Amino acid sequence: MKRLGSSFLVFVFLFCIWVLPVMAAEPSAEIEQLKGDVQKLLERIQELEKKQAETATKAVETEKKVAEVEKKTEKVEKKLPKVNLSAQIRAFYLNRDKGRYVPLGETASQGYDSRTNYFEIYKFRIAAKGELNKLIQFYGMVDANENENYEVKNWEGAVQFTLLPELVIKIGEVRIPFSRHNFVARHQSPVMSSDGDYFLPGQFSDALKAVNPYAGGFRSSQTFKRTDFATVIAGSINEGMLKYYAAIANEDRSKSSKVWKSDTNTGFSSATVSGVNDKKGLEYDARIEFTPTMLGFKSEETVSDPSLRVRQTYLGEMDTMTFGIGYHHEKHLNGANESTYGDSSLSSDAWAADFSFEKKFGEYITGLELGYMNFDDTHFYQTADGYKKGGAWTTYADAHLIYGKKIWKGFPGIGVRYEYVNVDGEYDSAGEIKKDLVYQRYGGCLSYWFNNATRIGIGADYVKAEDALKAYINNKSKTEKGWEDSTIVWYLGVYTQF
């Protein structure tokens, strides 16, 4: 038994001696393997860091290239002019009273002894406005108009040099800086019928042949013009509180429509002259405007705008108030028969005074414009004592009310307008001498504005003649159609610009 126990102890001892080295060897192998895995992981991390560094380098290089491209693009953009293109159309359905109108597709007025109604495009315009840089700006307009039988013509265009806000020079065919009415963009007028002579029947516009205070496009024979070939120097002082304009323009001399005879039915006719020295001198115009900016009113950007435009409504974008006075001088006739007319020339001096106001009260946009223009020595007119020099004067008022919160897609509004025109002249009506060619004009329009240049309007325009003009029209009506001393025109108009 003792021998067996001794043998068992020897066996246990030898087994331990054999097992312990093996157990010690296994952890050592695991450690070596772990070291290898860590080394591989470190190598992988290094590879990833290297790739990340390469990616960062490439990103920096890409950013540099993008910056270089942007600089090159900016340089190209600076070299290229910034241009805004626009197209405008004014379309109407007209229901006209008896009167004298230019038929669609014709250029001369005809008489109508009954009401007429038709659709018509009054104006189509393509315009461009832009700048070459901060110094040089430009604009141009090409029109196809109903009264020109849709012949495409250059309407306006000029180059502008902005040296300082206080010193801007415009050269081209531009708006003449005389009255505010010259500056108004008519397609934005609350009353559509204030758009020049388009709605005015020919029997009334006969009185405006010597001078038309509300003239439209350029006519070299007109004593006064809305646009002319000129150089305008303008400036805005103290952030627009005071603005000034001074212009020199072509002096256009013409014998056309310079004489009103009291004893005939011819209206205005040409003067008898020995010769007209056209373009011998220059026309001079000047205008000053004041805006009370200290009261919170914003100055209109007429000076900085190459096209010299103002709006009658800004649809609540800003509150405006402007007081303006203007002066115009031009010698427009020479070489007249002095023994007949008492003088051989006509030099017209004209003055204008106007006021404009628009302010938003709550949701309502209210506006008012008042104006007065006086022109002297625009024509000769016959009297019982011979010929005298005559002139003309006019006054007008515009008012509008627009709801400044959108109803569906736009803003509803109403506008009204009044004009009074008085031209020196006499007319012998069966031995009774009537003095002054006078008419009064009333307009009203309901509009729905989609924006400040696109709208639909429905309105009416009423005109009535008085004094010598009424006697002249009534006498003409005895032998010719369409000579009515009062008329009313109904219209539906669509103005759009895009």
Residue 464 burial by Cβ neighbours in a 10 Å radius (0-12, 13-18, 19+): middle
Spell out the residues 6+ positions from residue 281 whose beta carbon is closer than 8 angstroms to its own: 251, 331
For residues 191-195, average pLDDT: 84
Q: Mean pLDDT lowest for which of 97-111, 277-291, 443-457?
A: 97-111
Token couple for 298: 């914003």
* Top-confidence residue, 16 or 138: 138
Q: Is the pLDDT at 10 greater than 50, yes or no? A: no
| CB distance 308 to 183 below 8 Å | yes
* Segment 97-129, tens digit of pLDDT: 998 887 776 767 788 888 999 999 989 999 999
pLDDT value at residue 78: 56
Which residues on adjacent β-strands are paired with residue 411? 449
Please give the Cα distance from 240 to 90 (Å, whole number): 32
Confidence band (pLDDT; 50, 70, 90) for 79? low
Please give the Cα distance from 325 to 245 (Å, whole number): 11
Please give the Cα distance from 231 to 5 (Å, whole number): 135
Geometric angle at alpha carbon 218, from 345 and 157, rounded to 5°: 130
Query: DSSP string covering 244-291, please?
Result: EEEEEEE-----TT-EE-SSSS--EEPPPBS---TTSSEEEEEEEEE-
**Matching residue, tokens 């067996």:** 4
3-state secondary structure of 52: helix
Q: Is the pLDDT at 2 greater than 70, yes or no? A: no
Q: Is the pLDDT at 3 greater than 60, yes or no? A: no
For residues 372-385, average pLDDT: 95
pLDDT value at residue 275: 79
Please give the Cα distance from 498 to 496 (Å, whole number): 7
Q: Can you say how many angstroms the Cα of residue 408 is from the centroid of all Cα atoms in its chain? A: 26
Radius of gyration for the alpha carbons in the chain, expressed in angstroms and rounded: 41
**Matching residue, tokens 């329009």:** 445
**Matching residue, tokens 């505010």:** 180
Closest C-alpha among 472, 463, 464 to residue 425 = 472
Please give the Cα distance from 438 to 207 (Å, whole number): 8
Spell out the residues 6+ positions from residue 60 whose beta carbon is closer than 8 angstroms to its own: none
Token couple for 493: 């108009």
pLDDT value at residue 77: 53
For residues 63-67, average pLDDT: 73
**Matching residue, tokens 């008329």:** 487
Residue 368 burial by Cβ neighbours in a 10 Å radius (0-12, 13-18, 19+): middle
| CB distance 177 to 286 below 8 Å | yes
Antiparallel, parallel or unpaired: β 99-101 and 110-112: antiparallel
pLDDT value at residue 276: 80
Q: What is the DSSP letter of 216?
A: -
* Segment 309-363, tens digit of pLDDT: 899 999 999 999 999 999 999 999 999 999 999 999 999 999 999 999 999 999 9
Q: Is the pLDDT at 20 greater than 50, yes or no? A: no
Report the phi/psi class of residue 342: left, alpha or beta, with left for phi > 0 and alpha for psi in -120 to 50: left
H/E segment holding residue 391: strand 386-403
For residues 191-220, average pLDDT: 84
Q: What are phi and psi of 361, to 5 degrees?
A: -110, 105
Closest C-alpha among 182, 132, 178 to residue 156 = 182
For residues 74-99, average pLDDT: 82
Q: Which residues of 121-152 are buried (b: 16+ CB within 10 A; e: fewer)?
A: ebbbbebebbbeeeeebbbbbebbbbbeeeee
Query: DSSP string covering 293-327, please?
Result: GGGTPPPP-TTTSTT--B-S--TTS--EEEEEEEE
Q: Which residues of 192-205 are buried (b: 16+ CB within 10 A; e: fewer)?
A: bbbbbebbbbbbbb
For residues 125-147, average pLDDT: 92
Antiparallel, parallel or unpaired: β 259-260 and 364-383: parallel
Q: Mean pLDDT lowest for which of 38-52, 181-195, 467-481?
A: 38-52
Distances (CA, A) of 363 to 212, 315, 415, 449: 38, 11, 17, 15
Antiparallel, parallel or unpaired: β 82-96 and 136-145: unpaired
Task: For the chain, give the mean pLDDT.
Answer: 88
